[in-house]
Amino acid sequence: MNEPVIRVQNLKKFFPITKGFLVKKKVGDVKAVDDVSFEVYKKETFALVGESGCGKTTTARTMLRLIDPTDGKIEIFGKDISHLNREKLLPFRRKMQIVFQNPIGSLNPRMTIGQILIEPLLFHKIVDTKQEAYDKAIELLRMVGLKPYHMDRYPHQFSGGQKQRIAIARALSVDPEIIFLDEPTSALDVSVQAQIINLFMKFQDELNLTYIFISHDLSLVRFISDKVAVMYLGRIVEIGDVDEIFENPIHPYTKALLSASPIPDPKIEKQRKRIILTGSVPSPIARPSGCFFHPRCPFKTEKCEKEYPNMYKVSENHQVSCYLVEKEGV
């Protein structure tokens, strides 16, 4: 097998909680990402899923070095970037782009679409002259299904779906190899979502892109990704091949998530048995002892309250951190 494009090892990101006004004292940590490891291969779509506050976005931002990791390694093309300085990070920044959830917030309202697309081209010295940059920007607009005359317009003149197309064009402008997609369609209507998702699939095919896809929409994750990591309170609880996990989930949390996601089919909906979890996600400041999921878990044992379970290998492409595996002897 070829080398992974991304290798994340024991990644941690803690945000300190301070107390006091003049003299600040650290009183604890929000453990947003706690010991997360995974590998992503070329042309793969790797999905991070979980509910709000599970650490999926923090993981992605730390990998991009938009925030600095507390501990652990982030290897991109075999090089650890977790401690590189700004200057040395630049070539990696070019290789790793991100498309955010909210296209209104990620496009500068005072810049025309042309300026938005030309700036990164010149900054990263992808092209030498302004004319070349202009030509390339028009080419990018065509790629995402917009027209050359859109170059002189401002973001507010576009609909949500079109804005997201512009954000994609900007991400593609610097010839990246990895694109992070942070809930890229959750602000869009269903009929437009499919257009954007198809666009992502097309570019992955044509440009050999690797995607890190962050989403809470499991139906979408099933459609777009190859591998998936389910996160709960900063840790990965189940990871592996998408189809295998969706058809044979082992962790009770994954099971609950899947059974809670509605299916657009009234007959199936009426027959489905839901695992309704009680309560809500505990605070990441005071996480439960043992397995973090045990207070909500319908299958908990005594052991679950004491010790956090290790990752067990269920099959070649499926790992899970739950004692149930031991019991079922999978």
> Contact residues for other proteins (CB under 8 A)?
51-52, 159, 161-162, 189-195, 197-198, 216-220, 222-224, 243, 246, 256-270, 274, 276-277, 280-281
User: In this complex, which beta carbon is closest to other proteins, that of residue 106 or of residue 162?
Assistant: 162
Smallest gap from Cβ 262 to other proteins, in A, equals: 3
User: In this complex, which beta carbon is closest to other proteins, that of residue 77 or of residue 246?
Assistant: 246
User: In this complex, which beta carbon is closest to other proteins, that of residue 107 or of residue 118?
Assistant: 107
CB 73 within 8 A of CB 82: yes
Smallest gap from Cβ 249 to other proteins, in A, equals: 11
Smallest gap from Cβ 113 to other proteins, in A, equals: 16
CA 135/CA 205 separation, integer angstroms: 23
Smallest gap from Cβ 101 to other proteins, in A, equals: 15
Smallest gap from Cβ 240 to other proteins, in A, equals: 16
Instruction: Give the list of residues 6+ apart from residue 206 with CB closer than 8 angstroms, or none.
Output: none
Token pair listed for 252: 């009770």
User: In this complex, which beta carbon is closest to other proteins, that of residue 91 or of residue 160?
Assistant: 160
CB 222 within 8 A of CB 242: yes
Nearest CA-CA partner of 82 in 73, 93, 94? 73
Smallest gap from Cβ 122 to other proteins, in A, equals: 31
User: In this complex, which beta carbon is closest to other proteins, that of residue 129 or of residue 280?
Assistant: 280
Smallest gap from Cβ 253 to other proteins, in A, equals: 9
User: In this complex, which beta carbon is closest to other proteins, that of residue 63 or of residue 220?
Assistant: 220
User: In this complex, which beta carbon is closest to other proteins, that of residue 5 or of residue 197?
Assistant: 197
Rounded to 5°, angle at Cα 257 from 253 and 258: 120
